[in-house]
Structure 1
Amino acid sequence: MLDEVEHWLRARSYTAADRPLPALLAAKRALGPQGTVSVVLPALDEEATVGAIVTAIRTTLMTPHCPLVDELVVVDSGSTDRTAEVAAAAGARVVHRDALLPALPAVAGKGEVLWRSLLATSGEIVAFVDADLRDFDPVFVSGIVGPLLTDPRLAFVKAMYDRPLEGPAGQLPGQGGRVTELVARPLLNLHWPLLAGFVQPLGGEYAARRPLLERLPFPVGYGVELGLLVDTLHLVGLDAMAQVDVGVRHHRHQGGQALGRMAAAIYRTAQSRLARGPLVRSRLTQFDRSPQGGFTPRTHEVDTQERPPMLEVEEYARRRAA
């Protein structure tokens, strides 16, 4: 098993510089309709960062000289700030989550937005990019779509990067992926060791071919990245998966309790794929210090819902057929 992972790391780990833009554009032209690229930014209250990301993609990867990306869609999942206005002003097509598949009531969660985004896009290659990135480099897009444009054997590509923990005291290199190191990486190494080579298994930047995404179930919440990774392995195998080094990722960090809720959702997603009996409890209780003394319990529901493969949704199947 170790030899297989090491072989995969040598054969399927790239850097963005391995595929310069002229080579990607030539490959895209040769593919014709099969080389169309959609970029999706799932967004919730990201007015501070979404505009710069959209601008960077449009001015570098959607120009007459470099038409790598065919459509750029921001899917707003209920922002209360100016996320939608800022994204539209920067040149993105903005779609509200609830406008996609309106007959099915939406639930809160990142995975729900990614799942519904398949109805808002038409590219044969779909790239997902989180909307809270700072100092955004368009290589986060070109890097992950590049292998899919140039290698027909590949179906799924994740970004890998340094992820510093940033705070008032400065940056702590390599300390930003706390849930990855404490939850996701141990789970993958113990139960899906073929996936042990992924540097950023929970990263929000990845690209895949539409026919694969259509066949995958989507956990509605924070478990979506781990679920997609495991299910992709089972559907297409490790050799159809790759990762690309795109540099450094700067983004907003969450507090400890939010990370705890994320960890619970990820563990639940893993448990459902291990088929080891029913979930005992789908709630997570956390504690806050009360001003009056003692601790106040706060209980949160853990995401347990998953959306079916999009090919099973009648409205989507009709659109694809048309």
Structure 2
Amino acid sequence: MTQHFIELTAPKRLMAKVAFARSAGAAGDVVLVLPKTPDEEIGRVHRLVAAARKALGAESIPFQIVEIDEAIRLATSGDPSRALVIDLDLVHHENAGLLESACSSSSQVIGYKLHQNPSRAAAIFARGDSNAALAGTVVRRLTEAGVVDTASFVHVTHAGESATVDDSVLEAYGKVKAELPQARLAIEQAEDTVESAIEHCSRQYGLLVLGLPQHPRKRSVTEHLLAQVIAGLLRATAVFVYARGAEVEQLSDTTKAIEPWILKNTFSQDEFADIDRLLQAKRDRHVSISLILPALNEEKTVGQVIDAFKGPLMDERPLLDEIILMDSDSGDNTRAIATARGIPVYIHQQVRPDLGTYAGKGEAMWKALFVAKGDILVFVDTDLSNPNPSFVSGLVGPLLLDERLNFIKGFYRRPVRVVNEFVEVGGGRVTELTARPLLNLWYPELGGLFQPLAGTIAARAGILRELHFMTGYGVEIGNVIEYVRKYGIDGLAQSELGEIIHRNQPLEALSKMSFQVLEAFFRLSHGLMAPGMADHMNGVLRQPFLSDTGFTLYQARLGQEVRPPMFSVPPLDPPASVAPPV
């Protein structure tokens, strides 16, 4: 089913619009939209309505006549599988919602504005698989109808840049070629902006076909060109196409920001294997580095973790100035093992007891800020089965060699033990099922982070002391969200650390982690909830389990506290290291 929304106009222009839509393969019922009419103009508008009825009736075209508010309702409430054709003469400032309503409630949208131009050449700028395919289909049908005789798929580059065409452009071109085999690839160089290059093309081509996102972003290329077309400033007929399913792949400001960020701010541990180079950078910048090891009952692994870092990176070559164990009151030999290796041990519940104490990894990290002395702080988990010095050098390297960076997230392959073997699937389940969808929905600029929940990080101490800390597992996502909100994404980077083997968690434990990640996300994402709503979130997770003998309902209070930025806390003398229990 297709509906064609047309502004009421003189019969000749009205039927030209109907003929264009038919040539594009978008014939359908006409919705004739009345203008807002002052009393003195009613007679003139009535004559236009009568002439339109006569012209449409002569062609046996079904139609209805509606006001603009009713047109918007029809565009919003119809069959979502239909196609809508929108006469862009309808889209003015007061009814700009018509086009967005159409994209939100239909499978395809074709918006057009006719312009007299003797050229019969078409230029296609649409990107994204679905939009490119629809653009190719529209131009093919116009070619078959004799409206178009040549077609080009145009790629815009900036003057002086390489004319190399990346994979996404070639994929879109392939979609167009599948519908329109005769389309050729053309390179257009922009002297200043992409918009100006496309506007320049309106002097060479009689038809411009552009992709349309479901929600055009403010100050985007699409928004600018739509405004130019609606104002009648382009010298060619313009067609905007939208096909459902293309939103992720379409060009947008966010996509254009993510791609260079990944290329510029993603590192590998191999780039920082030269420890002498890092030591020289450390001396040149006069910085100190602290490694903080949060722990709770990690007697099986904590010794090998300390040994992996202390010998190579502290005793032999002083990349690290101190290693601290921040213990959460372990009931096993974790503290004794660390003390035997000469490592200062703190129990987080005993650090700044005047501030109270809470359970959780985030609490331990926050308390570490009061005792660590380094200008750069590194956090590495103590449940690692395969610790390696490159985990630390891969994190601090970017901070030592690139002064624009402030916060480094580690990422790694994370295999899961299945019986006696490790497999590459299943790791990072809370990331894939909870954190990544949330970030892509609300913080798309963070869509390029491989492991936003990684607890293996390095950051400048001054930055960490300006952030809030969730006391539980929500600390990692909370830190990332707040850092980007305060400082932007340019100073955030990620470093690949190879393979890290953690102790794998059972599913019910992952549910608890997800609970705290979600809580942190909504507490620290300003503007997503009405003021005060975060305080009404439930802090108890209930987990019913079914067995052969019935069911059991487990309950756990998981609500986290939000610790303030450490810089805002009045200082006290740091406590002495806590000796292990005898």
Which TM-score band (shorter chain)? over 0.9
Per-residue CA distance 1:155-207 (angstroms, 9 max, x = gap): 00011110111131521214211101000111111111111111111111000
Aligned equivalents of 1:39, 1:174: Cα separation in 2: 30
Asked if the contact 2:349/2:358 (under 8 Å) is kept, the reply is no
Per-residue CA distance 1:94-149 (angstroms, 9 max, x = gap): 11112210212211000000000011111000000011011111111111011111
Local SS of the residue matching 1:295: strand
Structure 2 match to 1:144: 395
| CA-CA distance at 1:273 after TM superposition | 2.6
Structure 1 match to 2:275: 21
- Further displaced range: 128-137 or 295-304: 295-304
Structure 1 match to 2:415: 164
Structure 1 match to 2:255: 2
Aligned equivalents of 2:365, 2:563: Cα separation in 1: 10
Q: Where does 1:252-291 land on structure 2 (aligned, <5 Å)?
A: 252-274=503-525, 275-277=528-530, 278=533, 279-289=536-546
Task: State the Cα RMSD in Å.
Answer: 1.4
The reply on whether 1:126 has 2:377 as its aligned counterpart is: yes
Select which of 297, 310, 320 maps to 1:69. Answer: 320
| CA-CA distance at 1:290 after TM superposition | 5.2
Aligned equivalents of 1:128, 1:134: Cα separation in 2: 16
Per-residue CA distance 1:75-94 (angstroms, 9 max, x = gap): 11010000000111123211
Aligned equivalents of 1:190, 1:9: Cα separation in 2: 19
Structure 2 match to 1:188: 439
Calculate the TM-score normalised by the size of structure 1: 0.94
Local SS of the residue matching 1:133: coil
Local SS of the residue matching 1:296: strand
Asked if the contact 2:515/2:558 (under 8 Å) is kept, the reply is yes
Aligned equivalents of 1:298, 1:123: Cα separation in 2: 42
Q: Where does 1:93-112 land on structure 2 (aligned, <5 Å)?
A: 93-112=344-363
Aligned equivalents of 1:252, 1:16: Cα separation in 2: 22
Per-residue CA distance 1:203-222 (angstroms, 9 max, x = gap): 11000001101100000000
Moved over 6 A (4+): none
| CA-CA distance at 1:272 after TM superposition | 1.4
Percent of pairs identical after alignment? 39
Amino acid in the other structure paired with 1:81: D
- Further displaced range: 176-185 or 296-305: 296-305
Aligned equivalents of 2:420, 2:506: Cα separation in 1: 16
Aligned equivalents of 1:140, 1:234: Cα separation in 2: 27
Asked if the contact 1:55/1:91 (under 8 Å) is kept, the reply is no
Aligned equivalents of 1:263, 1:78: Cα separation in 2: 24
Structure 2 match to 1:296: 552
Structure 2 match to 1:44: 296
Select which of 2, 5, 11 maps to 2:264. Answer: 11
| CA-CA distance at 1:289 after TM superposition | 3.4
Asked if the contact 2:538/2:559 (under 8 Å) is kept, the reply is no
The reply on whether 1:212 has 2:467 as its aligned counterpart is: no
Structure 1 match to 2:284: 30
Asked if the contact 1:54/1:91 (under 8 Å) is kept, the reply is no
Aligned equivalents of 1:17, 1:169: Cα separation in 2: 29
The reply on whether 1:309 has 2:565 as its aligned counterpart is: yes
Aligned equivalents of 1:97, 1:207: Cα separation in 2: 20
Amino acid in the other structure paired with 1:215: E
Asked if the contact 2:414/2:424 (under 8 Å) is kept, the reply is yes
Aligned equivalents of 1:67, 1:13: Cα separation in 2: 26
Aligned equivalents of 1:93, 1:167: Cα separation in 2: 36
Amino acid in the other structure paired with 2:257: E
| CA-CA distance at 1:280 after TM superposition | 3.6
| CA-CA distance at 1:315 after TM superposition | 1.9
| CA-CA distance at 1:234 after TM superposition | 1.2
| CA-CA distance at 1:302 after TM superposition | 2.4
Structure 1: gaps of 5 or more residues = none
Structure 2 match to 1:244: 495
Structure 1 match to 2:427: 176
Per-residue CA distance 1:221-256 (angstroms, 9 max, x = gap): 000000001111112211101111110010101111
Aligned equivalents of 1:29, 1:280: Cα separation in 2: 48
Amino acid in the other structure paired with 2:284: A
Calculate the TM-score normalised by the size of structure 2: 0.53
Local SS of the residue matching 1:245: strand
Structure 1 match to 2:308: 56
Amino acid in the other structure paired with 1:54: I
Structure 2: gaps of 5 or more residues = 1-253, 575-582
Amino acid in the other structure paired with 2:293: L
Aligned equivalents of 1:108, 1:304: Cα separation in 2: 9
Structure 1 match to 2:223: none
Asked if the contact 1:220/1:303 (under 8 Å) is kept, the reply is no
Aligned equivalents of 2:396, 2:546: Cα separation in 1: 46
Which has more radius of gyration?
2
Amino acid in the other structure paired with 1:73: I
Asked if the contact 2:297/2:330 (under 8 Å) is kept, the reply is yes
Local SS of the residue matching 1:92: coil
